[in-house]
Amino acid sequence: MARPREFDEEQALDRAMEVFWRKGYRNTSLDDLLEAMGIQRGSFYNTFGSKRKTYLRALTRYSDFMTDGGPYSELTQQEPGLPALYALLEKYLASVTGDSLVKGCFFTHASKEHRGSDPEVKQAVLAGVDRMQRLIKESIEVAQEEGQLPPEVDTSSMALLFMSVAWGLHVMAEAGVPREDLMSAGAQLFAMSRSLT
Amino acid sequence: MARPREFDEEQALDRAMEVFWRKGYRNTSLDDLLEAMGIQRGSFYNTFGSKRKTYLRALTRYSDFMTDGGPYSELTQQEPGLPALYALLEKYLASVTGDSLVKGCFFTHASKEHRGSDPEVKQAVLAGVDRMQRLIKESIEVAQEEGQLPPEVDTSSMALLFMSVAWGLHVMAEAGVPREDLMSAGAQLFAMSRSLT
DNA sequence: ACAGTTTTGTACTGTCTAGTCAACAATAAT
DNA sequence: ATTATTGTTGACTAGACAGTACAAAACTGT
């Protein structure tokens, strides 16, 4: 007994995620957002409430997007352990230094834009980071089982170190450091890892 | 034959640097800036021209601030090589996870805020990053001479790797990852470095 | 003392922003 | 067909923002 919606909420949210990911929160105006989502002001506020709420939903959606069937799920396929991790890093650096519209991890952008001062953003980001870290940690444990890493290394620290390198190189790329330099710095990390055994 | 200035330009610029460093470019309103600088609109536009120009000057000033007599100059004192680098990283992480007003490297904030889309900002940041990387590279070369690192490692890649870890852990801290986790990830890197010999 | 010059303080401008509102359109149950 | 209910639309509001204009103030050389 009411007028049906003319757009798909999930799809609109995906578009919103894409814009926020690409441009950040503050730098995305409502007009940008509406244009990307393909809806108009009234529908937007009716369905999503506010720019902020949409942003928070986009963050958790990103988390799902990355881990469920996304890039992180490839860690268990192919050659597991260090090779898979290295492949993931290379793919990440390629996306960061390439000319795709969406560059780098949404969470790094969100972290830096809010600098931990927004509790809700922080919580959403931290939840996503935890999921990613867990997946990487699992890969490192596989690497241990495969004998690619010695059994005494702390897998949690190692996982965090790997993520930090990826994120750090991401920021370096945005600072203007050339792609090849970033690639060889990443390679250096894996060379060091391999030499542990 | 004219009225003298009532404020010190250098000191005002230092204050401007501090605010931009702490709050970022967009998130610093002109009122914030003027309050921090202790001057008023007219004087500001007379002396500094615009918010943007002031920001660019603040960036290069930061570079001087860090390398000339600042934290990076400590690399050559104390125990040079890896211990000095490790001390620098620990100090950085302490500043990042502590409760000081100014947290982390200004260049990481600037990089991420503009994402390489502003050529002038990019240039200023890259120049500063180059200086920092050179200092770290020198420390790594010292480490090689001292036998702390094998002679075959690529010192440039290693320097970039170290910086990336610092920056990455910085972003992780802002994402909400606990301090101890960051510390042990940093320690992991140095443990790996030491085991190379 | 006064002319010339620069700084200073403040009111103002135009633009951009997120969010609101009310008229109008489209559906489903009766 | 009517009515209740929800969705859509575009004009509107209120506030924040960077930057400007200009008069008043303060200083220096003569």
pLDDT of residue B165: 98
Q: What is the DSSP letter of A38?
A: T
Average pLDDT score, chain B: 95
pLDDT of residue B100: 85
pLDDT of residue B69: 81
Contact partners, residue A96, CB within 8 Å, separation at least 6: A103, A104, A169, A170, A173, A174, A182
pLDDT(B76) > 90: no
Q: Give me the mean pLDDT over the A72-90 stretch.
A: 92
**CB of B196 closer than 8 Å to CB of B150:** yes
Backbone torsions φ then ψ of A195, nearest 5 degrees: -75, 0
pLDDT of residue B85: 97
pLDDT of residue B1: 65
- 3 state SS of A155: helix
- 3 state SS of A50: coil
Strand ranges, E, within chain B? none
pLDDT of residue B176: 96
Question: Exposed e or buried b for every residue in A155-181, given b needs 16+ CB within 10 A?
Answer: bbbbbbbbbbbbbbbbbbbbbbbeeeb
Q: Give me the mean pLDDT over the A20-32 stretch.
A: 97
pLDDT of residue B183: 98
Above pLDDT 70, what percent of chain A?
Answer: 99
Query: Can you give the distance from the CA of residue B45 to the C1' of nucleotide D22 in angstroms?
Result: 14
pLDDT of residue A33: 98
Confidence tier at A41 by pLDDT (50, 70, 90)? very high
Q: What is the DSSP letter of A5?
A: P
Compute the residue count for chain B.
197
How far is C-alpha B108 from the geometric centre of its chain's CA atoms?
A: 7
Nearest CA in chain B to A116: B174
**CB of A193 closer than 8 Å to CB of A82:** yes
Q: Give me the mean pLDDT over the A35-46 stretch.
A: 97
Q: Give me the mean pLDDT over the A42-64 stretch.
A: 97
Write out residues 35-64 of B within 8 Å (CB-CB) of A.
none
**CB of A109 closer than 8 Å to CB of A21:** yes
Q: Which nucleotides of C are covered by protein (CB under 7 A)?
A: 3-11, 16-23, 25-29
pLDDT of residue A3: 84
B176 CB near a chain A CB, below 8 Å? yes
Q: Give me the mean pLDDT over the A50-68 stretch.
A: 97
**CB of A165 closer than 8 Å to CB of B161:** yes
Tokens describing residue A16:
């919103």
Q: Who among A112, A164, A173 is closest to B185 (CB)? A: A164
Q: Angle, nearest 10°, between helix axes A82-97 and A155-175?
A: 20
Tokens describing residue B128:
């500063």
pLDDT of residue B79: 85
Q: Which of B93, B102, B72 is nearest to B172 (CA)?
A: B93
Q: Distance between CA A111 and CA A48 in Å, rounded? A: 23
Q: Distance between CA B197 and CA B192 in Å, rounded? A: 10
* Number of Cβ within a 10 Å radius of residue A3: 5
**CB of B174 closer than 8 Å to CB of B188:** no
Tokens describing residue A184:
């060889």
Contact partners, residue A11, CB within 8 Å, separation at least 6: none
Above pLDDT 90, what percent of chain A?
Answer: 88
Distances from the Cα of A47 to the Cαs of A14, A132, A160, in angstroms? 14, 30, 37
Query: Can you give the distance from the CA of residue B41 to the C1' of nucleotide C30 in angstroms?
Result: 67
Confidence tier at A24 by pLDDT (50, 70, 90)? very high
Task: Encode pLDDT of B117-146 as tens digits.
Answer: 999 999 999 999 999 999 999 999 999 999
How far does chain B reach from its first CA to its final CA, in angstroms? 68
Nearest CA in chain B to A110: B175
**CB of B165 closer than 8 Å to CB of A161:** yes
Confidence tier at A1 by pLDDT (50, 70, 90)? low
Question: Exposed e or buried b for every residue in A67-95, given b needs 16+ CB within 10 A?
Answer: beeebbeebeeeebbbebbbbbbeebbeb
Task: Encode pLDDT of B77-98 as tens digits.
Answer: 878 899 999 999 999 999 999 9
**CB of A83 closer than 8 Å to CB of A142:** no
Q: What is the pTM of this model?
A: 0.95
Query: Can you give the distance from the CA of residue B8 to the C1' of nucleotide C4 in angstroms?
Result: 24
Q: Give me the mean pLDDT over the B59-77 stretch.
A: 91
Decide if A122 and B175 are in contact by the 8 Å CB cutoff: yes
Q: Distance between CA B189 and CA B185 in Å, rounded? A: 7
Per the rule left: phi > 0, alpha: psi between -120 and 50, beta: everything else, A156 is alpha
